[in-house]
Amino acid sequence: MSSTRKRVLVTGGAGFLGSHLCERLVAAGNDVLCVDNYFTGRKDNVAPLLSCPQFEALRHDVCFPLYVEVDEIYNLACPASPIHYQHDPVQTTKTSVSGAINMLGLAKRLRAKIFQASTSEVYGDPSVHPQTEEYRGNVNPIGPRACYDEGKRCAETLFFDYYRQHRLRIRVARIFNTYGPRMHPNDGRVVSNFIVQALKGEAITIYGDGEQTRAFCYVDDLIEGFIRLMAAPDEVTGPINLGNPVETTVGELARMVIALVGSRSKLEHRPLPVDDPVQRCPDIARARDILGWQPRVPLETGLKNTIQYFDRLLTEDKALAAVKA
């Protein structure tokens, strides 16, 4: 066994980000244990890894204690898209809070290093722009997004209390909107929705006037940020923003997707969801200075890769439906 080979646990490992992370960790020569309850994750996402002896998948809900032996833990388990996390809000909070307690307890017993996938949602609908890590946020604690936002905020609190109280080695990343292949086609997130709608020639659903902004990071860039943060010296606990600082309006994104797909889809305006943040863009000065990290993949390139992925997925679905008919 090489000295750099580690046993790494990835919770939520069959999800969009988790599956890319597992792939990256296996490629680097680590033993990877993927834990997932398959609420939003899919076995297909990790299917290519199953033939690899370094990779193992375990069905488990992080709301329950887990007894395994590992050196590092990446805690990603939690539905991330508004329609998924609002489907069973109580379970969403439990996943963030009980999941964090269980994984921190595991890390404490093993003296393992532990990473938390936190979110830009801890800033809520921000009144500071772009968002720095010092900004304490503007979250509505009783709104429909609160199960996710407050669950993630509480998880951050737990991470820092375990750090202070038990001297655990923690890493907290605040992830901003990320997109790429293996996003769930029905998760309602803006990039997957627009691409699927454009490929099917359906109307592109713009919520509100489309002037709200997000900053979209390609998945490969984000995973590089995870790896660098985990490898950083132990005094680097975070929280640290990871995201692409190039801000785009939802309307601009729609026009870009239509052009790249070559679609004839029309734009259709729908009501803006409750508590939908007006502006969101990360200040990544900390990640640049401390990790030497910044996104490299331009939006157009990332969208082209993602369009290719969904195009293949939709073609496979059609072929499957034709076989079943």
Which residues lie near ligand UDP (CB under 6 A)? 81-82, 177, 188-190, 193, 205-207, 212, 214, 250, 272-273, 276
Q: Which amino acid is at 177?
A: N
* 276 contact choice in ligand UDP, ligand NAD, none (CB below 5 to 8 Å, kind-dependent): ligand UDP
Which residue of the set 74, 85, 123, 148 is catalytic? 148
Q: How many CB atoms lie within 10 A of CB 217?
A: 26
* 107 contact choice in ligand NAD, ligand UDP, none (CB below 5 to 8 Å, kind-dependent): none
* Residue carrying structure tokens 């132990």: 234
Closest approach, Cβ 1 to ligand NAD, in A, equals 28
* 163 contact choice in ligand NAD, ligand UDP, none (CB below 5 to 8 Å, kind-dependent): none
Where on the chain is the footprint of ligand NAD (CB under 6 A)?
A: 11-12, 14-18, 36-41, 61-63, 76-80, 95, 99, 117, 119, 175, 177-178, 184
For residue 148, indicate whether it is catalytic.
yes
Report the b/e string of 169-192 with b at 16+ CB within 10 A. Answer: bbbbbbbbbbbbbbbbeebebbbb
The contacts of residue 49 (CB under 8 Å, 6+ apart) are 19, 22, 23, 26, 32, 34, 55, 57
8 A C-beta contact, residue 280 and residue 190 = no
Nearer to ligand NAD, 17 or 307 (CB): 17
* 16 contact choice in ligand NAD, ligand UDP, none (CB below 5 to 8 Å, kind-dependent): ligand NAD
One-character DSSP codes across 264-314: -PPEEEEPPPTT--S---B--HHIIIII-----S-HHHHHHHHHHHHHHHH
* Angle separating helix axes 190-200 and 299-324, nearest 10 degrees: 60
- Distance of alpha carbon 243 from the chain centroid: 11
User: Residue 281 class from Cβ within 10 Å (0-12 exposed, 13-18 middle, 19+ buried)?
Assistant: buried
Nearer to ligand UDP, 105 or 208 (CB): 208
- R_g of the chain, CA atoms, integer Å: 19
Nearer to ligand NAD, 87 or 167 (CB): 87
* Residue carrying structure tokens 């722009």: 129
Dist CA 30 CA 227 (whole Å): 12
* 63 contact choice in ligand NAD, ligand UDP, none (CB below 5 to 8 Å, kind-dependent): ligand NAD
Closest approach, Cβ 301 to ligand UDP, in A, equals 19
Nearer to ligand NAD, 37 or 193 (CB): 37
Nearer to ligand NAD, 132 or 269 (CB): 132
Residues with a known catalytic role: 148
